[in-house]
Amino acid sequence: RPFLSAKPSSSSSSSHRRAVFAPIPKVSQIALINEPMVTGTSAVDALSPLGRGQNMLLVGQSGTGKRGVAIDAVAAQVRAGDKGVKCVYALTSTNARDRKEALRRLEEAGVLDEIVVVSARDNVEGSESGDEVGSAEAVAVAAAACAVGESFALSSGADSLVIVDDIDRHKALWDWTTRVLVDVYGVDAVVKDDREGGASSEMRGYYSALIQRAGKFNKAKGGGSVTLMMLSNIPGRGGDDEETVFQPEDFDGASQKVKDRIAILVKSKIPLTPVNLRKIQIPVPSASESECDRLLALQHADDLISMTDGQIWLDETLKAGGRRPPLDPQRSITRVGVGADTNSRADAPALRGLIGGLRFELAQAADILKRAVSADLTKAERKQLIKRDAWLLALHQETGRARSLSESVVSLLAASIGQLDDVIEKGGTAGTELGMG
């Protein structure tokens, strides 16, 4: 039974009703996505732009700042006032403390009274069948939030932004229903992909009922849009198996190349722990249950990515290195507007000319850092690394400091024309006092 909280608005139509589990828009009802939804986070707007009517997955390990990015996106819309985007925030957590913390952060950002919040009314944790009830309630909360966003779009032609924080409970409900099918009808009642944790066509249909509710409606349907940002958590590289020390014989089934590298580690007296193995990209042996769970969760994230219009990937390693936000430019992308034969675009025209080669430049610099030590760098490579650090300085942004489009343009323009190079050469990299000055 979702709980809805909203500030009364004269601009909304109280007579417009929308089914919680409304069908996804038909192809005949939608138009091309061609207007950006500026999120207020420069790294997102530059590297994984969000278009009005697009769905986007915001994925990362716990503590990487997913909720902060989402709330900043809401703040960026609220800042525009009555002409801005209508925002709906869905809190699917069954944990009362987590919901309270999310509401606190929305209030701290100054947006709580300006948006619609949909959340679970009761805390079902600890009750009989609590997990199943909680996951079903989470699905209802997300669907109700989409219905509110659709109501704005269809009743008044408004653009709406729906944040689903988060969609992890959807998988819990799917797994539970799968177990029920097996218990009642036997294992043959469930397709092989579902039994093995994969994404069957049935599971894709289940998620599409939420994901595909995003869309840009055509003029006949009012011209509004529903933009959907869904948060999803993936397990970190930590875990209760991180202290495990493997033996050389655990790698008997590996390739000779891996065995040779293991021999070098043993000779150097470096323990064969999961942490050390991952540092040099040696696969961890089929090990612990927690590692298997982690791999299944990553597989599920990949399945979700394949269903969405793009993903913003936040990485714990980048966060530990001081990156804010810790957005991975190689794994974050939008699929709207990709290809030369489409008129659809998600990015802001003001940014388009500035960051055309940004992703490639960051990838080149990352490759240089992997294969070279400082003494071996050529003059051209040093220049590339300075340019990379200038870009990262321009993109550096703490949570709670949403930028306007013009602020992002100025910051990225300074990096693109070399105005930040002197700061970098003096040690003013992203996150340092000199860099922020």
Q: Which of 10-14, 119-123, 259-263, 384-388 has the lowest mean pLDDT?
A: 10-14
Q: Which two tokens stand for residue 149?
A: 């966003």
The phi-psi region of residue 430 (left if phi > 0; otherwise alpha if psi is between -120 and 50; otherwise beta) is: beta
Report pLDDT for 332.
96
The kind and range of the H/E element at 227 are strand 225-234
Report pLDDT for 359.
92
Q: How many CB atoms lie within 10 A of CB 370?
A: 7
The residues facing 5 across adjacent strands are 117
Express each pLDDT in 121-158 by its tens digit. 765 555 555 678 889 999 999 999 999 999 999 999 99
- List Cα–Cα distances, 154 to 157, 240, 335, 367, in angstroms: 6, 49, 25, 48
Looking at every residue in the chain, the average pLDDT score rounds to 86
Q: What are the helix (H) ranges across 232-378?
A: 256-267, 274-279, 289-307, 316-320, 349-352, 358-371
Residues 6+ apart with CB under 8 A from 278: 237, 284
The DSSP letter of residue 150 is H
Q: Which two tokens stand for residue 419?
A: 């105005």
Q: What is the pTM of this model?
A: 0.84
Q: Which of 273, 275, 21, 258 is nearest to 145 (CA)?
A: 21
- 93 pLDDT above the threshold of 80: yes
The kind and range of the H/E element at 252 are none
Q: Tell me the pLDDT band of 194, cut-offs 50, 70 and 90.
A: low
Report pLDDT for 131.
76
Q: Which of 389, 404, 424 is nearest to 351 (CA)?
A: 404
The residues facing 228 across adjacent strands are 55, 162
- 190 pLDDT above the threshold of 80: no
Length of the chain as a residue count: 437
Distance linking the first and last C-alpha atoms of the chain: 49
- List Cα–Cα distances, 186 to 195, 243, 375, in angstroms: 11, 39, 64
Tell me the C-alpha distance between 57 and 200, whole Å.
19
| Mean pLDDT to the nearest integer, 71-85 | 88
Report pLDDT for 434.
61
| Residue entry with tokens 């990209």 | 281
Residues 6+ apart with CB under 8 A from 99: 91, 93, 119, 120
Report pLDDT for 285.
74
Q: Tell me the pLDDT band of 248, cut-offs 50, 70 and 90.
A: confident
Domains of the chain with CATH codes: 2-237+291-347 (3.40.50.300), 248-284 (no CATH), 358-436 (1.20.150.20)
The per-residue b/e assignment along 89-100, b for 16 or more CB within 10 angstroms, e otherwise, is bbbbbbeeeebe
Q: Which residue type sits at 302?
A: D
Q: Does residue 327 contact residue 43 with C-beta atoms inside 8 Å?
A: yes
The residues facing 234 across adjacent strands are 61
Express each pLDDT in 314-355 by its tens digit. 999 999 999 999 999 999 999 997 765 677 889 999 999 898
User: What helix, strand, coil percent values describe the chain, rounded to 5?
Assistant: 50, 10, 40
Q: Which of 143, 119, 155, 118 is nearest to 214 (CA)?
A: 143
Q: How many CB atoms lie within 10 A of CB 396?
A: 20
Angle between helices 201-211 and 168-185 (to 10 degrees): 140
Q: Is the dihedral of CA 399, 80, 146, 15 positive or negative?
A: positive
Q: Which of 158, 93, 47, 87 is nearest to 397 (CA)?
A: 47
246 versus 197: the higher-pLDDT residue is 246
| Mean pLDDT to the nearest integer, 422-433 | 81
- 383 pLDDT above the threshold of 90: yes
Q: Which of 52-56, 204-208, 284-288 has the lowest mean pLDDT?
A: 284-288
Is residue 217 helix, strand or coil? Answer: strand
* Angle subtended at Cα 149 by Cα 175 and Cα 207, rounded to the nearest 5 degrees: 20
Q: Does residue 312 contact residue 58 with C-beta atoms inside 8 Å?
A: yes
434 versus 251: the higher-pLDDT residue is 251
Tell me the C-alpha distance between 123 and 3, whole Å.
12
The kind and range of the H/E element at 91 are strand 86-91
Report pLDDT for 300.
80
* Angle subtended at Cα 53 by Cα 47 and Cα 58, rounded to the nearest 5 degrees: 45
Q: Which two tokens stand for residue 148?
A: 């509110």
